């Protein structure tokens, strides 16, 4: 054997030996790290949805919030934009991200996929696959079923996959990319047995539901995916989420709003929740969802009390299952079923550029997560979960030791008791009643339990935490004006045709033509009108009807905008129908079709159409109806401004810009600006605009659409009872997204270029830069609020209010204070029947002029008990300045 070959074999054997003695294993109770069972609390942070400059702070806040693990997907189409061409820089520097997690002292759960869904354009499938599949006609794909299935699966691993050895190309691509990621992690020493932070990996993503529909071929594919993962010898356990028949040694896991019902498919596997959904995604045209932290904490505590040992907070699922099925029924040529991808995000982030999937997924991927889109703490969600994590960790020795003994305490109340080998006793007291408080007797003591809540007792005596009693600060964020802009404009040429334009008979599917290189495709045809047409004299203009698969459409007749229509999340299809003004002779009908993100989940992506598919008809002529569907159409991919790269400094300098035109459709705007002072997160207020895209210094901020007002039901949000994505919504009647995150790291001190393409005709003078800061801070704490400070000693701390402004800001005003029975919520408090008249005094004394302060919730502090025998609360609203 040659020396080089011998050296290779020696290294390979060493790697195998090291992995074989893996420091991460599992048993039925938990993941085992270095011989120790662990209760692991995790949070999703998607590295491309923020910028590298934000990563250290996000990871540190995850650690400060009591997490052990950072979970992330690996974004295939970002890392391999074309076959064999890899990119691991900037926002896609995966190795740097993982090393930062290690430096912070946390573990990593690496979800390689490579299909991940995640409300990302085409679900993270390799981008080049789209071009391959679109290079063949629909009939070719149907006729050549083997090749059809390869291309289909290359677009999405969550598609029908037959293990035909002659057409196994997609699987080869998937295996190649997965192997590349694993090899990269090994070469960088990032698996735990190498001293790195990676303790878990994931292959595929929520493939199980497709097996119900596809049967044995899909099951064979899942088994193949599991086998290639295990063969990579990572030395850490692999998981498959929502995969009930995941083969040994792979762990099947749960995703959902609640997972206390879940058990793994084998008794020797731990109970793991890979996606605890913090809320729901934001979509254009729908209300913004929120999940009360009381319910989220209840779901997590309920899972732990049932024996769960791994919880990961993820953002939000894309579309509810029933809605997915509805969409499929409407949109797919072939009958197929849908799987939803949902998780609980700890930091959601931003869908920069054109990365948002859907269609109609918004640019903001905030997800109502504990750390908001801008990297700021969302309070009280972050703080209340931090306290939950502390309480769980206090109980860890008993939780990992054995199974709970469950005892009924009432009709809807129960106790789950764990005991360790050393005699430690831990109890979870649950009240499942959705309406009423309960008073229960447990272990010789009486305890009050709010409805729909769990209390945690790390010694079976002392309540240190209740999921429904939120004592943490409530922060109300505000957007402060930071500057306006001086604009110039450039009109998009509606009838401009480049050398790449082409003509053909009939209508073509949009993504088939654009290959997703742009959101825009022009469909242009010409209509001859005779001099004797009656409508020319009677004024009854003909009716143009255009039917489209989506997602938005502008109709121009002889260069004039005639109408705009668009679909929605539930049904992206649309129809334009309107009277059009034509003249004798040749008339030009130009239709600009616009995509708003590609599907990120489901089967048969190649059948999820976009663009004008017809019929296109003209009614009211002498001949009656004229069908334009099968006449010659000219196609222009993209906008002239895109070809000129007007979003870049060099491209924007190549044309002459004029004075800004207000409310002019298809208009480019540019402005130069200096970076605002300070370090607060920045955003653009786009409320005066309609729909379009934004770039700063050549980098894509994303799609904006404040003109699409949210339609739905908004109202009072009650944490009690099962949560779903429509339970707690806001923004009804307003823009689904008004503000668009601008990373400070993308800015230069001076001379920054802002470019906007406006489709509808908004008013750019209303655009402003804003800073995101904390406005009001509130707290609402009862006399008997549980506390973990010195809970097991005589110095047990009674309930206390803690207030804190952003770094560098101080409390300047006490807007409201009351100790008694106050009413309302943060921003709208009022005194109740019971009120201590010296309620303000202690807050003025302790808090004014301070960045942070504390006030104990006991009657003496407020000048005495204003209503003996009544349970009282201290409520305060302060202003940071």
Positions marked active-site: 206, 275
What are 801's two structure tokens?
Answer: 């209010």
Q: Are strands 36-38 and 198-203 parallel, antiparallel or unpaired?
A: unpaired
CB 570 within 8 A of CB 577: no
Measured CA to CA, the distance from residue 728 to residue 289 in angstroms comes to: 6
Radius of gyration of the chain measured on its C-alpha atoms: 29
Is the sign of the CA dihedral 876, 387, 417, 445 positive or negative? negative
First to last CA, the chain: 74
Residue 197 β-bridge partners: none
CB 473 within 8 A of CB 826: no
Query: Three-state SS string across 618-669, please?
Result: EEEECCEEEECCCCEEEEEECCHHHHCCCCCHHHHCCCCCECCCCCCCCEEE
Cis peptide before 735 (omega within 30 of 0): no
Output 788-797 pairs: Cβ under 8 A, ≥24 positions apart. Answer: 788/387, 788/390, 788/391, 788/394, 788/464, 788/465, 791/458, 791/462, 791/464, 792/458, 792/459, 792/462, 796/462
Measured CA to CA, the distance from residue 805 to residue 875 in angstroms comes to: 17
CB 673 within 8 A of CB 483: yes
Cis peptide before 249 (omega within 30 of 0): yes
E strands along 496-611, which residues?
502-505, 520-529, 543-548, 552-557, 560-566, 574-579, 585-594
Exposed e or buried b per residue across 670-696, where buried means at least 16 C-beta atoms within 10 angstroms of its C-beta: bbebebbeeebbbbbbbbbbbbbbbbb
CB 278 within 8 A of CB 378: no
What interhelical angle do 94-104 and 55-64 show, nearest 10?
40
Of 111, 133, 328, nearest to 241 by C-alpha is 111
Burial of 265 (0-12, 13-18, 19+ CB in 10 A): middle
Residue 667 β-bridge partners: 491, 758
Of 253, 250, 251, nearest to 242 by C-alpha is 253
- CB atoms closer than 10 angstroms to residue 172: 11
Measured CA to CA, the distance from residue 84 to residue 79 in angstroms comes to: 10
CB 48 within 8 A of CB 91: yes
CB 43 within 8 A of CB 106: no
Measured CA to CA, the distance from residue 177 to residue 35 in angstroms comes to: 32
Phi, psi of 5 (to 5 degrees): -65, -40
Name the region of 731 (left: φ>0; alpha: ψ -120 to 50; beta: rest). left
Measured CA to CA, the distance from residue 43 to residue 29 in angstroms comes to: 20
Q: Which residue has the tokens 């599991």?
A: 226
Q: Which residue has the tokens 């106790």?
A: 415
Of 570, 850, 514, 529, nearest to 712 by C-alpha is 570
Exposed e or buried b per residue across 451-470, where buried means at least 16 C-beta atoms within 10 angstroms of its C-beta: bbbbbbbbbbebbbbbbbbb
């Amino acid at each position: 054997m040659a020396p080089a070959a011998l050296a290779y074999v020696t290294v390979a054997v060493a790697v195998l030996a090291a992995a074989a003695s893996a420091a991460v294993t599992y048993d039925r109770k938990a993941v085992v790290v270095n011989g120790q069972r662990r209760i692991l609390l995790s949070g999703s942070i998607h590295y491309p949805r923020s910028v590298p400059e934000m990563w250290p702070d996000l990871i540190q806040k995850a650690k400060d919030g009591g997490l052990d693990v950072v979970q992330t997907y690996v974004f295939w189409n970002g890392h391999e934009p074309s076959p064999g061409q890899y990119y691991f820089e900037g926002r896609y520097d995966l190795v740097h991200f993982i090393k930062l997690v290690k430096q912070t002292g946390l573990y990593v759960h690496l979800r390689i996929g490579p299909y991940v869904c995640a409300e990302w354009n085409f679900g993270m499938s390799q981008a080049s696959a789209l071009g391959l599949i679109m290079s063949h006609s629909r009939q070719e794909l149907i006729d050549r079923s083997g090749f059809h299935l390869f291309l289909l699966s290359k677009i999405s691993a969550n598609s029908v996959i037959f293990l035909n050895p002659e057409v196994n190309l997609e699987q080869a691509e998937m295996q190649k990319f997965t192997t590349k990621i694993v090899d990269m992690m090994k070469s960088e020493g990032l698996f735990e047995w190498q001293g790195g932070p990676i303790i878990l990996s994931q292959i595929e993503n929520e493939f199980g539901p497709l097996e119900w529909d596809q049967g044995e071929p899909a099951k064979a594919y899942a088994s193949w995916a599991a086998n290639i993962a295990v063969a990579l010898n990572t030395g850490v356990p692999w998981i498959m989420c929502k995969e009930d028949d995941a083969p040994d040694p792979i762990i099947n896991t749960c995703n959902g709003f609640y997972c206390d019902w879940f058990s793994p498919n084998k008794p020797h596997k731990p109970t793991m929740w890979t996606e605890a959904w913090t809320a729901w995604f934001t979509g254009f045209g729908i209300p913004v969802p929120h999940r009360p932290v009381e319910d989220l904490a209840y779901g997590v505590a309920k899972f732990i009390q049932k024996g769960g040992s791994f919880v990961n907070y993820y953002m939000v699922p894309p579309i509810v299952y029933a809605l997915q099925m509805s969409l499929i029924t409407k949109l797919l040529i072939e009958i197929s079923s849908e799987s939803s991808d949902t998780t609980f995000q700890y930091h959601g982030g931003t869908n920069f550029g054109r990365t948002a999937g859907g269609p109609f997924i918004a640019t903001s991927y905030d997800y109502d997560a504990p750390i908001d889109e801008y990297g700021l703490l969302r309070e009280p969600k972050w703080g209340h979960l931090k306290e939950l994590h502390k309480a769980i960790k206090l109980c860890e020795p008993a939780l990992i030791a054995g199974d709970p003994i469950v005892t009924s305490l009432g009709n809807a109340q129960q106790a789950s008791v764990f005991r360790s080998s050393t005699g430690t006793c831990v109890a979870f007291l649950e009240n499942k009643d959705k309406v009423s408080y309960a008073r229960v007797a447990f272990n010789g003591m009486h305890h009050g339990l709010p409805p729909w809540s769990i209390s945690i007792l790390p010694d079976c005596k002392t309540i240190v935490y209740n999921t429904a009693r939120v004592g943490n600060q409530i922060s109300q964020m505000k957007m402060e004006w930071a500057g306006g802009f001086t604009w110039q404009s450039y009109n998009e040429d509606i009838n401009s045709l480049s050398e790449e334009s082409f003509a053909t008979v009939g209508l073509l599917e949009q993504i088939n033509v654009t290959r997703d290189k742009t959101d825009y495709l022009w469909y242009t045809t010409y209509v001859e009108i005779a001099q004797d047409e009656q409508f020319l004299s009677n004024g009854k203009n003909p009716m143009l009807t255009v039917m489209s698969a989506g997602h938005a459409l502008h109709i121009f007749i002889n260069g004039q905008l005639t109408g705009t229509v668009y679909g929605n999340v539930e049904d992206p299809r649309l129809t334009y129908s309107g009277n059009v003004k034509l003249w004798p002779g040749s008339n030009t009908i130009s239709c600009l079709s616009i995509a708003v993100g590609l599907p990120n989940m489901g089967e048969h992506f190649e059948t999820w159409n976009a663009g004008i598919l017809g019929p296109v008809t003209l009614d009211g002529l002498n001949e009656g109806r004229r069908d334009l569907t099968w006449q010659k159409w000219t196609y222009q991919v993209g906008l002239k401004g895109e070809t000129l790269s007007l979003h870049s400094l060099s491209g924007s300098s190549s044309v002459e810009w004029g004075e800004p035109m207000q409310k002019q459709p298809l208009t480019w705007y540019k402005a130069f600006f200096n970076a605002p002072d300070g370090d607060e997160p920045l955003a653009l207020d786009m409320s005066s605009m309609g729909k379009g895209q934004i770039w700063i210094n050549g980098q894509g901020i994303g799609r904006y659409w404040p003109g699409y007002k949210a339609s739905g039901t908004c109202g009072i949000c009650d944490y009690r009872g099962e949560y779903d994505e429509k339970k707690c919504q806001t923004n009804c009647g307003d823009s689904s997204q008004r503000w668009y995150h601008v990373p400070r790291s993308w800015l230069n001190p001076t001379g920054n270029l802002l470019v906007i393409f406006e489709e509808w005709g908004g008013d750019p003078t209303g655009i402003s830069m804003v800073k995101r800061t904390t406005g009001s801070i509130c707290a609402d704490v009862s006399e008997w609020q549980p506390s973990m400070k010195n809970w097991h000693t005589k110095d047990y701390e009674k309930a206390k209010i803690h207030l804190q402004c952003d770094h560098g800001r101080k409390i300047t005003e006490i807007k409201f204070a009351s100790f008694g029975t106050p009413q309302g919520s943060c921003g709208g408090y009022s005194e109740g029947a019971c009120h201590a008249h010296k309620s303000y005094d202690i807050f003025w004394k302790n808090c004014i002029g301070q960045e942070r302060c504390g006030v104990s919730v006991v009657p003496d502090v407020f000048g005495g008990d204003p209503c003996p025998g009544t349970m009282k609360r201290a409520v305060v609203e302060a202003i940071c300045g």
